[in-house]
Amino acid sequence: MNKRVYGVIGISSIMANWNADFTGYPKTTSSGDTFGSDKALKYPMKKMWENNGEKVLYIKSMKFSKDKKGEVQLVPRALKERYEYIFGVEDLKKCKSAEEVLKNLFSAIDVKNFGATFAEEGNNISITGAVQIGQGFNKYDGTNPEEQQILSPFRDGSKDSVKPDSEEAKNSTLGTKIVSNEAHYFYPFTINPLTYKEYKELGVTEGYTEEDYIKFKETAVVSATSFATNSKVGCENEFALFVETEENLYLPNLSEYIDFTKGKDKNTIAIKCSELLNSVGDRIKNVEIYYNPYTTIIESEIKGAKQFNIFTQKEV
């Protein structure tokens, strides 16, 4: 691929929890700003790729394993075990070819996009990804966490041996679900195919291709919507901006130029980098804007930008 790509991916979260911290509340900075980590965005993309039959290395998968007592436990695979599982390798320790390992790593779609830190015995490899995704900050100033009490259909059986006649042992247990009333996250990303130039010269990959970019783009605009877990129901892709440029054009973080305004009937997403992009228009190959036209109005003055329905993929 002989171009760079700069862009923004927007995620809406309505009565959902897009990215929780270890307390269960939506992640915030020390100053109180709500944000989502790049891992929160990458995970549903990886799940979608995996469901589509692509090889995905860095994702949790389970196996049965016997402990020291001979009891069978369900445990996550180690990185070495995951590598052996998806690439059909009997024992990674027996592999003495770094070239073979690199070729396998680059055949995994998540590694091809996001890179890898592969620190295994005899194969200590670090690959900087062609696709770099930043932190997604919430642009809606009315965001508040909501805590819901949930009644379990079961009592806590562990209390039987301690206080069998206590009210705790007789009653159903309580749980908690924490969500945001509403949040709108905007993630910046860049794609630099030249990142793999050295590996391409080594013959372990064909580089980051147009096909790789198309797969990334197709997944980036729908993966959050498709990923419907209990806490993620209510999280949807609502916006995406793709700016394709010449290889030697360098642009700033475009999410800083995005404003979100809550409206009565429809919300407004304003793209404030129109002047910047128009000033280098002769070096920009293509601009595409994806959004939810049923809930959102786009304000943009980018010359030649094409606008698409994020669900139907048809031009608006």
The 10s digit of each residue's pLDDT in 274-290 is: 999 999 999 999 999 99
The residues pairing with 126 across neighbouring beta strands, listed in sequence order, are: 117
Query: What's the pLDDT score for residue 294?
Result: 94
Query: What's the pLDDT score for residue 130?
Result: 98
Give 286's contacts (C-beta < 8 A, 6+ positions apart): 242, 243, 244, 306
Per-residue pLDDT tens for 134-143?
Answer: 999 999 999 9
Query: What's the pLDDT score for residue 121?
Result: 78
Per-residue pLDDT tens for 164-188?
Answer: 555 555 555 567 889 999 999 999 9
200: its two tokens = 């391409």
Q: How far apart are CA 300 and CA 188, in angstroms?
A: 17
Query: What's the pLDDT score for residue 170?
Result: 56
Give 176's contacts (C-beta < 8 A, 6+ positions apart): 24, 147, 148, 149, 150
- Of 138, 133, 99, nearest in space to 223 by CA: 133
Query: What's the pLDDT score for residue 34?
Result: 96
For the chain, the three-class secondary structure string (H helix, E strand, C coil) is: CCCEEEEEEEEEEEEECCCECCCCCECECCCCCEEECHHHHHHHHHHHHHHCCCCCCCCCCEEEEECCCCCEEEEECCHHHHHHHHHCCCCHHHCCCHHHHHHHHHCCHHHHHHEEEEEECCEEEEEECCEEECCEEECCCCCCEEEEEEEEEEECHHHCCCCCCCHHHHCEEEEEEEEEEEEEEEEEEEECHHHHHHHHHHCCCCCCCHHHHHHHHHHHCCHHHHCCCCCCCCEEEEEEEEEEECCCCCCCCHHHHEEEECCCCCEEEEECCHHHHHHCHHHEEEEEEEECCCCEEEECCCCCCEEEECCCCCEC
- Of 133, 140, 152, 150, nearest in space to 240 by CA: 133
* Number of other CB atoms surrounding residue 43 within 10 Å: 19
- Of 6, 13, 9, nearest in space to 27 by CA: 13
Q: How far apart are CA 26 and CA 160, in angstroms?
A: 35
37: its two tokens = 């980590």
Query: What's the pLDDT score for residue 61?
Result: 93
Question: Any idea of the CA torsion for 77, 80, 82, 84, to the nearest 10 degrees?
Answer: -130
Query: What's the pLDDT score for residue 39?
Result: 96
Per-residue pLDDT tens for 70-106?
Answer: 899 999 999 999 999 999 999 998 888 999 999 999 9
Low-confidence ranges of the chain (pLDDT < 70): 155-174, 228-231
